[in-house]
DNA sequence: CCCCGACTAGAGCGATCACTCTAGTTCTAG
DNA sequence: CTAGAACTAGAGTGATCGCTCTAGTCGGGG
């Protein structure tokens, strides 16, 4: 009774890759089926809601994968800034012959507000989840509560913006710049001054 | 012999709005013609290259509009950080009943690398143009040349990321957070320490 | 007046879209 | 073994896609 897991997982994996590389609307059913090797009937068996339901599942899977990578980078680092830097190092590394780096959520997220409110909600949850991971690590660093949310939001914005610029320009240097900016931003933290004050 | 300017400009204006709100692939010809009030024949008279050529023109127009707003904000401010803050204030203000704030280039830019190399090039030029404006202002602030490019890149990434998060989450607070982060990032500048060193 | 180029209106085209439906195959339970 | 559920294969459907093409309107120079 687990025979289906292969094609279902393959659909999610292929859809997640296509969403990362070209977004939601640009990903047609024909391309999805061709590149996943799954038949049309299987698609609508596993995802009766069609392309949109599959896209939701794919975004959730991508969001979880990023969250795991981010948690791992943050947990293994001496402080938040170093962890963010290591995460960006991983993001800059091209894996599995992907044509371009970048956030797997952002392309679909930006077209979602009007196209598909359901996808927008999923994307927003992903970003919130990542922001919470950064916030938790900042608290562990001793950041005062009143500035944790703001620092986490700005740090995530810095990451997302750098990934966007890197993809569009093809220049990986944007990631290195963001890495050093994160160090600067989180080093000039109110943690020290607030402890003193 | 200037009779056509109306419909041509209207096409660019409508296309720019649709590209900002939902990206390139999601913007169909039918919607464009319906919302611009221009007929199909006029579209292919003014833009023989079709939707892609029009999208190019629209992205260029949007890029220039943003560049003008950014230049104005930077020129009228005492320093770069304040100018970036004012620019974000303008970006946060909903103008003309737009459904969501955000960068007019980013949605199309993220789907462009595979879908349309020509659009990717135009988008990259827009980002470069904006980055150069920030870099020029940083030099005027007295920043050392070796760190200007890096600071400009990180600042633009911060802006783009904040606009992305604000659009997807609907929370304008991301823009305020980025504003204060820009102050922190550009205040802890190497300009002073480098002058001393 | 006629003429010609700029521009507009919209029918029509093949291709492709997401999706439905039916028939067939494969697995598990009893 | 049989029954039935899970799953797959793929033809078929109507709608919509970007685009071409023809017919027509408009305005100024001869």
A114: helix, strand or coil: helix
DSSP A189: -
Question: What's the whole-model pTM score?
Answer: 0.93
**Start-end of H helices in B94-116:** 106-115
Shortest Cα distance, chain A CAs vs residue B76, angstroms: 25
Distance from the first to the final alpha carbon of chain A: 63
Q: Tell me, in Å, how far CA of B46 is from C1' of C28?
A: 64
Alpha carbon distance A152, A131 (integer Å): 6
- Point out the residue among A111, A150, A174 whose CB comes nearest to the CB of B22: A111
Check whether residue B14 has its CB closer than 7 Å to nucleic acid strand C. Answer: no
Q: Which chain A positions have a beta carbon within 8 Å of B177's beta carbon?
A: 149-150, 153-154, 157
Contacts of B138 in chain A (CB under 8 A): none
pLDDT at A128: 98
Q: What's the farthest any 2 CA atoms get from each other in chain A?
A: 65
**What span, in angstroms and rounded, lies between the C-alpha atoms of B163 and A38?**
37
Query: Residue A175 in 3-state DSSP?
Result: helix
On chain A, the residues whose CB falls within 8 A of the CB of B153 are 162, 165, 173-174, 177-178
**Cα distances (Å, whole numbers) of residue A194 to A147, A189, B8, B189:** 10, 9, 57, 21
Yes or no, beta carbons of B157 and A156 under 8 Å apart: no
Give buried/exposed letters for B139-165 (b at 16+ CB in 10 A, else e).
eebebbeebbbbbbbbbbbbbbbbbbb
Site from A23, A124, A146, A174 to mutate, B interface, most B CB atoms within 10 angstroms: A23
Cβ atoms A101, A166 nearer than 8 A:
yes
Bases of chain D with protein Cβ within 7 A: 6-12, 16-23, 27-28
Q: Do A170 and B110 lie within an 8 Å CB cutoff?
A: no
Query: Which residues in chain B are contacts of A170 at CB distance < 8 A?
Result: 124
Cα three-residue angle B147-A184-B183, rounded to 5 degrees: 85
Show the low-confidence residues of chain A (pLDDT under 50).
1-2, 191-197
Distance separating alpha carbons of residues B64 and B85, to the nearest angstrom: 19
For position B197, what pLDDT does the model report?
A: 31
Distance CA B169, CA A126 (A): 10
CA-nearest residue to A157 within chain B is B161
Q: Which nucleotide is nearest to B47 (CA to C1')?
A: D19
| Neighbouring C-beta atoms of residue A129, cutoff 10 Å | 15
CA B178 to chain centre: 16
Nearest residue in A to B110, CA atom:
A107
Contacts of B54 (CB under 8 A, 6+ apart): B11, B12, B15, B32, B43, B46, B47
The pLDDT of residue B38: 97
The CA–C1' separation of B57 and D30, in angstroms, is: 37
Q: Tokens 């220039």 — which residue? A: B64
CB-CB under 8 Å, B111 with A111: yes
Q: Do A159 and B161 touch (CB under 8 A)?
A: yes
Q: Which nucleotide is nearest to B45 (CA to C1')?
A: C7
Instruction: Determine the nucleotide nearest to A38 by Cα–C1' distance.
Output: D8
Long-range Cβ contacts of B146-150 (<8 Å, 24+ apart): B147/B189, B147/B190, B147/B194, B149/A177, B150/A177, B150/A180, B150/A181
Cα A2 to Cα A41: distance, rounded to the nearest angstrom: 17
| Shortest Cα–Cα distance, B43 to chain A (Å) | 22
Which is nearest to B177 in space by CA: A143, A151, A163, A127?
A: A151
pLDDT in single tens digits along all 197 residues of chain B: 445 668 999 999 999 999 999 999 999 999 999 999 999 999 999 999 999 999 999 999 999 999 999 999 999 999 999 999 999 999 888 776 666 789 999 999 999 999 999 999 999 999 999 999 999 999 999 999 999 999 999 999 999 999 999 999 999 999 999 999 999 999 865 544 444 33
Spell out the residues 6+ positions from residue B50 whose beta carbon is closer than 8 angstroms to its own.
B43, B44
Token couple for A6: 């292969």
**Which residue in B168, B189, B191 has the most chain A C-beta atoms within 10 A of its own C-beta, making it the best mutation to test that interface?**
B168
How far is the alpha carbon of A45 from chain B, nearest alpha carbon, in Å? 26
Query: What's the CA gap between B175 and B95, in Å, rounded?
Result: 16
Q: Count contacts between A and B (CB, < 8 Å).
A: 177
């Amino acid at each position: 009774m687990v025979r289906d897991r292969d094609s279902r997982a393959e659909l999610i994996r292929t859809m997640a890759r296509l969403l990362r590389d070209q977004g939601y609307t640009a990903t047609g059913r024909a391309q999805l089926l061709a590149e996943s090797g799954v038949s049309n009937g299987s698609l609508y068996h596993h995802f009766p809601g069609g392309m949109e339901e599959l896209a939701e599942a794919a975004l959730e899977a991508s969001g979880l994968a990023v969250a795991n990578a981010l948690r791992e980078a943050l947990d293994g680092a001496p402080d938040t800034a170093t962890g963010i830097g290591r995460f960006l190092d991983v993001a800059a590394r091209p894996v599995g012959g992907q044509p371009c780096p970048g956030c797997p959520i952002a392309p679909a997220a930006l077209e979602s507000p009007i196209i598909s409110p359901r996808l927008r909600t999923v994307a927003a949850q992903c970003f919130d989840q990542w922001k919470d991971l950064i916030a938790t690590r900042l608290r562990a660093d001793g950041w005062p509560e009143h500035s944790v949310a703001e620092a986490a939001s700005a740090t995530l914005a810095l990451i997302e913006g750098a990934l966007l610029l890197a993809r569009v320009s093809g220049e990986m240097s944007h990631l290195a710049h963001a890495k050093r900016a994160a160090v600067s931003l989180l080093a000039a933290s109110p943690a020290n001054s607030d402890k003193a004050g």
